Amino acid sequence: MAALPFTATASDSASISSGETSTKKSSSQSDWTLNDQGCYIKIAEGKGRGVYASRVIQPQTVIEVSPVLLFSESEYEDHGRHTILDHYTFKWRDGRMALALGLGSLFNHSTHPNVTYTLDRAHECIKYASVRTINPDEELCIFYGHKLWFDPVGIAETLEPQLSLDQHDQPAFFDILAIDDEGDDTELLGPDDPNDILESDSLPFIWKKLQVDEEEENMDDIRTMQAWVVDIPDSKHIATMLNWLKRSGLESDTLAHLKRIRKKDCTSTLLLSVSSSAPLLPTNVDIGDPYQVLVPCNPALTQTSLVLKNTLWPTVYAPRRKWEPEKWSIAKVRWARDAISHILRESNQITSDELPVIAHVPRPFEDEAQLPRSFTAKDTRISTAHPLHHAAMNVIREIADFRASTSSSDIAADSLMSASPPEDSLETSCTSSNGTNYLLTGLTLFITHEPCIMCSMALLHSRVKEVFYIIPMPQTGGCGGSACLPALRGVNHRYSIAHWRPTELGAAPAHLDEKIDA
């Protein structure tokens, strides 16, 4: 490979050619930096050269913009792939391969990268940016992916950054992604494509298998719940009521597996909600009063079950089990790693007598719009002298408060934005009083310790999508430790559970005690 175009700016003439034979630079490099952000190169023990910071770099700072040299797919297949270039090139979006010039080729790999990068296709360059505060003489690393072609060193390094982090110091991959000039579908590409789906044994966590027999092929086995419905005698009001329902805020995932309308004996019945009290219905439409019926809790997994469930209420046929974990891409794993690093950092910073249990709900990976910000809560049982103030309960309550406070204003804002309400516009201000905001619907909880039985049940009620924990709690855990709440018969929601692999944590986090009651 031709020499990389670095120019030493001071008299120091140490060789920076590849390999371990290069002269080691002293740790004070500020007089010998290679770009505006003060990056310099030195030998990174066992990795060849690496890029280092000579001074503090703030989070989300663009530290390097490297132009790329592009190779066509065939040129790369026939030639580049068989040379050392194969260790330096990035997959470009359209099948071409890109060699990053400048510092871009010299960032080493870490599973806890402090640098992320975006492809700028318009300008044919790659932008590298810090994801947290970087300290002087700290190595700048990116994440190459999971299919490494070398034995990585420095991967089991401590998870804790050397300087304490302030609250603005969270990893910010997705903010950085917004740098992309096209702004649409930017991806972090490297030796692995972030959209690559990882095999389950490459994931840094292990899914717990819920031992449940859910086929529900006998009427007695079908799990049911009470739902509010209303008869619509005149079919011309169906569209009006469906429109009202959309705006009412009553719709929730809990009923997503059920059809909205049941037609029986010339009467149409509309499925409304599973709220504890009867929903307030519009008064200017000729419909009956709401009443409750039993409906299936889950979609039909088999045709036999579908026939039985349809006798209760028209049900969706979904052979894939509702709680079966979905496929995880490399990018999504990075998102989860950020969350795990976050809870570890937070729990390590607890200096009071409080238990070091941290619960965290990040903005969802797939649909950030679902939650405008992330939530983190610690255990406050000791400081509040309240036995129920576990971290998981606290975070559920914070999100509930947040969602409750925003739902009514959202609806108000929605109706204000509609300059001329449709003719059938109906009263919607009853929404929040219907109490159907399921608190953690579609969200993921990351927690240092397996939640206890109380918290696991609260999570079930909150309709959380999945729970990741680091420390199993065999005595008290409700996610498989002493019991597995979401696997119980009779519960009307299930969430997925994953245990973060201890080997992924590097040094065992000493501050996380396995004996406490989480």
Ligand X SMILES: C[S@@+](CC[C@H](N)C(=O)[O-])C[C@H]1O[C@@H](n2cnc3c(N)ncnc32)[C@H](O)[C@@H]1O
Interacting residue ranges for ligand X, rule: CB under 6 A? 18, 46-50, 87-88, 105-106, 108-109, 150, 152-154
In whole angstroms, how close is the CB of 130 to ligand X at the nearest point?
Answer: 18
> Residue 496's beta-bridge partner residues?
466
In whole angstroms, how close is the CB of 229 to ligand X at the nearest point?
Answer: 59
Give the nearer residue to ligand X in terms of CB position, either 100 or 271.
100
In whole angstroms, how close is the CB of 176 to ligand X at the nearest point?
Answer: 20
Q: Can you read off the two tokens belonging to residue 354?
A: 């409080």
In whole angstroms, how close is the CB of 87 to ligand X at the nearest point?
Answer: 4
Give the nearer residue to ligand X in terms of CB position, either 70 or 491.
70
- Dihedral sign for Cα 193, 197, 201, 207, please: positive
Give the nearer residue to ligand X in terms of CB position, either 84 or 417.
84
Give the nearer residue to ligand X in terms of CB position, either 6 or 174.
6
Length reported for the chain: 518
Beta carbons of 142 and 115 less than 8 angstroms apart: yes
Give the nearer residue to ligand X in terms of CB position, either 191 or 296.
191
Q: How far apart, in whole angstroms, are the C-alpha atoms of residue 505 and residue 90?
A: 27
Q: How far apart, in whole angstroms, are the C-alpha atoms of residue 314 and residue 261?
A: 8
Give the nearer residue to ligand X in terms of CB position, either 88 or 500.
88
The enclosing H or E element of 310 equals helix 303-312
Residue nearest to ligand X (CB): 48
In whole angstroms, how close is the CB of 41 to ligand X at the nearest point?
Answer: 8
Give the nearer residue to ligand X in terms of CB position, either 18 or 492.
18
- Dihedral sign for Cα 237, 238, 243, 245, please: positive
Give the nearer residue to ligand X in terms of CB position, either 154 or 204.
154
> Residue 128's beta-bridge partner residues?
64, 117
In whole angstroms, how close is the CB of 333 to ligand X at the nearest point?
Answer: 17
In whole angstroms, how close is the CB of 9 to ligand X at the nearest point?
Answer: 20
Give the nearer residue to ligand X in terms of CB position, either 109 or 345.
109
Closest to 447 in 3D by CA, of 371, 370, 351, 375: 375
Q: State the Rg of the chain over Cα.
A: 27
Q: How far apart, in whole angstroms, are the C-alpha atoms of residue 68 and residue 16?
A: 20
Beta carbons of 37 and 57 less than 8 angstroms apart: yes
Residue linked to tokens 């998870």: 159
Question: Number of helices and strands (H, E) in the chain?
Answer: 8, 19
Q: How far apart, in whole angstroms, are the C-alpha atoms of residue 328 and residue 496?
A: 13
Q: How far apart, in whole angstroms, are the C-alpha atoms of residue 342 and residue 159?
A: 10
In whole angstroms, how close is the CB of 148 to ligand X at the nearest point?
Answer: 8
Beta carbons of 333 and 315 less than 8 angstroms apart: no
In whole angstroms, how close is the CB of 108 to ligand X at the nearest point?
Answer: 3
HSE-up of 463 (CA within 13 Å, CB side)?
18
Beta carbons of 91 and 97 less than 8 angstroms apart: yes
